[in-house]
């Protein structure tokens, strides 16, 4: 018991303490993990929005570079017609751009070159370019140009009357030893969204995110990768190319807090499963260790009990043989009695040794049976004849009630005799007061049967399924006082099972037990 207590404490330390520590650590570090995940998630969203803006910017810068390279390389903007022809050719190549305008540094000279003449109102465009906030942008472009940093500015021109909503992209045009003039592209806002922004939004959104482009003031989406766009986003950023518009992004499947909560719940369930598994594993280990310790104790008791059981018949054999050898018995009848005792004790000793040897063979799977047609009544006759002295010597009343006709079955006579002797031996050991034995054979509908009845101490219901386990002994004062190997009924079960038989036990504590054995009919059975 002390060893089991130590093992129990050790398993608790190995299994439960680490499990509790891990679960506690997960709960305590949840907030830290959540902040880390949110920060990582926010950086990812920023990267996605930056990708959309940067892709749009790259497209516009490629247009500007192509325009400077193919149109402005050797042409003075305000002189000659060749520049206009080159611009028309440029507009044919870049189909998204509907018009190009040229503007001097003083904002006085303005020229509008259209792909389709008459579509745009040049006066409205010039008026927009002369607004104070636009002039600020132009001055900024000049300052950056002087620092050799070439970039562009966007101006959003809302729809007026029949004029569509336009996007003006303004950039500087270099002139030798003078301040730069300006040039610009004019694009319909819808075209910018559909052909430049939307494809990149769909690409980066994939199936995981929803990207929307919306009016910053009215909070109204003008394009979204979702069929039903929302106005609540996980992160927003300005749309660089279109002033007054924002890019918004959110997860397609759920919001981040919901995902974190779901992840946390999955982690908790996993930890619960892991801890349960560890507890069950610990319990199974503990149960196996307890069983091994119990078997070790039983084996130790077995050695002690077997030694005692072997000593008793050996002592009797030695005592009576020495008495006969020394010639101390003159009466011939007394001699025959002593010879009989020696023979019976020898048979009892042989039976106990056979039990141990047979158990060893059964454990190794080497036990062999010699099956043949035998009569159950004949087995009982031989058993009673050989064992009668021992039964009577112990003061038992023996009643034998045999079926009148032969009871044939296919079996091993010696093995069955050994099984029945084990049951009788147990009945005698555990019948301290009412010493009664009854052996009955009978013919059943589909086989033959034998029952062995005693008026002993009986067996409790909870022990009935365990008494056939090796080394198992029912607890109780009388049981502990009575020596036994704990192998007898285990051998009985093995033998009966080998004969395709069935064992039924009827027992009541304090009133005795009845062991019934049923065997299938032999083809030669006449009954």
| Higher per-residue confidence, 118 vs 509 | 509
Q: Give the Cα-Cα-Cα angle 120, 125, 130 (nearest 5 degrees).
A: 170
pLDDT of residue 249: 84
pLDDT of residue 303: 66
Whether the CB-CB separation of 428 and 492 falls below 8 Å is answered with no
pLDDT of residue 442: 93
Six token digits for residue 240: 């660089």
Mean pLDDT of 167-171: 92
Mean pLDDT of 292-303: 68
Sorted by where each starts, the structural domains of the chain and their CATH numbers stand as: 71-194 (3.30.450.20), 360-520 (3.30.565.10)
CA distance 232 to 234: 7
Other beta carbons within 10 Å of 431: 22
Q: What is the pLDDT of residues 449-481, one digit of tens each?
A: 999 999 998 888 888 878 877 766 665 544 445
pLDDT of residue 21: 73
Mean pLDDT of 156-182: 78
pLDDT of residue 280: 78
Mean pLDDT of 511-515: 92
Q: Is pLDDT at 392 greater than 70 in this prediction?
A: yes
Q: What is the pLDDT of residues 240-257, one digit of tens each?
A: 888 888 888 887 655 556
pLDDT of residue 238: 87
pLDDT of residue 77: 45
Reference 447, options 503, 404, 409, 504; nearest CA is: 409
Kindly indicate the confidence band of residue 305, based on its pLDDT and cuts at 50, 70 and 90. low
Whether the CB-CB separation of 496 and 422 falls below 8 Å is answered with no
Average pLDDT in the chain: 80
Mean pLDDT of 217-240: 80
Kindly indicate the confidence band of residue 178, based on its pLDDT and cuts at 50, 70 and 90. low
Q: Is pLDDT at 395 greater than 80 in this prediction?
A: yes
Whether the CB-CB separation of 380 and 439 falls below 8 Å is answered with yes
Kindly indicate the confidence band of residue 266, based on its pLDDT and cuts at 50, 70 and 90. confident
Q: Which of 263-272, 417-426, 473-482 has the lowest mean pLDDT?
A: 473-482
Q: Is pLDDT at 137 greater than 80 in this prediction?
A: yes
Burial annotation 187-226 (CB, 10 A radius, 16+ → b, else e): bbbebbbeebbbebbeebbeeebbbbbbeeeeeebbbbbe
């Amino acid at each position: 018991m002390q060893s089991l207590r130590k093992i129990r404490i050790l398993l608790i330390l190995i299994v439960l303490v680490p499990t509790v520590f891990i679960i506690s650590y997960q709960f305590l570090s949840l907030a830290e993990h959540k902040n880390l995940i949110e920060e990582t998630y926010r950086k990812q969203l920023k990267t996605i929005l930056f990708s959309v803006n940067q892709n749009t910017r790259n497209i516009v810068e490629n247009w500007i570079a192509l325009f400077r390279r193919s149109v402005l390389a050797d042409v003075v903007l305000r002189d000659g017609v060749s520049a206009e022809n080159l611009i028309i050719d440029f507009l044919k190549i870049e189909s998204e751009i509907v018009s190009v305008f040229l503007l001097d540094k003083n904002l006085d000279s303005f020229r509008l070159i259209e792909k389709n003449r008459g579509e745009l109102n040049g006066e409205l465009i010039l008026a927009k370019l002369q607004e104070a906030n636009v002039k600020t942008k132009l001055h900024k472009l000049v300052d950056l140009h002087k620092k050799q940093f070439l970039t562009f500015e966007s101006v959003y021109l809302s729809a007026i009357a029949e004029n569509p909503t336009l996007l003006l992209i303004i950039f500087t045009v270099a002139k030798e030893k003078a301040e730069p003039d300006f040039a610009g592209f004019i694009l319909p806002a819808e075209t910018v969204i559909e052909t430049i922004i939307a494809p990149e939004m769909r690409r980066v959104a994939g199936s995981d995110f929803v990207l929307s482009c919306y009016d910053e003031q009215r909070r109204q989406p003008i394009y979204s990768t979702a069929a039903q766009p929302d106005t609540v986003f996980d992160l927003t950023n300005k749309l660089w190319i279109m002033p007054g518009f924002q890019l918004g992004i959110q997860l397609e499947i759920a919001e981040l807090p919901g995902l974190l909560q779901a992840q946390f719940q999955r982690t908790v369930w996993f930890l619960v499963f892991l801890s349960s598994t560890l507890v069950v594993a610990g319990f199974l280990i503990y149960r196996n260790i307890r069983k091994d310790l119990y078997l070790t104790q039983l084996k130790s008791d077995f050695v002690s009990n077997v030694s005692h059981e072997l000593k008793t018949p050996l002592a009797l054999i030695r005592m009576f043989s020495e008495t006969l050898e020394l010639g101390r018995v003159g009466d011939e009848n007394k001699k025959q009695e002593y010879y009989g005792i020696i023979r019976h004790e020898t048979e009892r000793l042989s039976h106990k040794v056979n039990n141990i040897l047979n158990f060893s063979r059964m454990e190794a799977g080497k036990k062999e049976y010699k099956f043949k047609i035998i009569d159950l009544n004949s087995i009982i006759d031989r058993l009673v004849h050989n064992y009668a002295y021992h039964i009577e010597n112990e003061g038992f009343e023996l009643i034998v009630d045999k079926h009148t006709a032969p009871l044939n079955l296919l079996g091993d006579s010696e093995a069955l005799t050994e099984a029945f002797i084990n049951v009788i031996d147990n009945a005698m050991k555990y019948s301290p007061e009412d010493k009664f034995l009854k052996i009955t054979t009978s013919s059943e509908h589909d086989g033959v049967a034998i029952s062995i009845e005693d008026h002993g101490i009986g067996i409790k219901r909870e022990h009935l399924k365990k008494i056939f386990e090796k080394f198992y002994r029912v607890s109780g004062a009388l049981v502990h006082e009575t020596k036994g190997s704990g192998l007898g009924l285990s051998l009985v079960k093995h033998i009966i099972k080998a004969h395709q038989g069935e064992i039924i036990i009827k027992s009541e504590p304090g009133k005795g037990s009845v062991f019934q054995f049923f065997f299938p009919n032999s083809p030669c059975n006449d009954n």
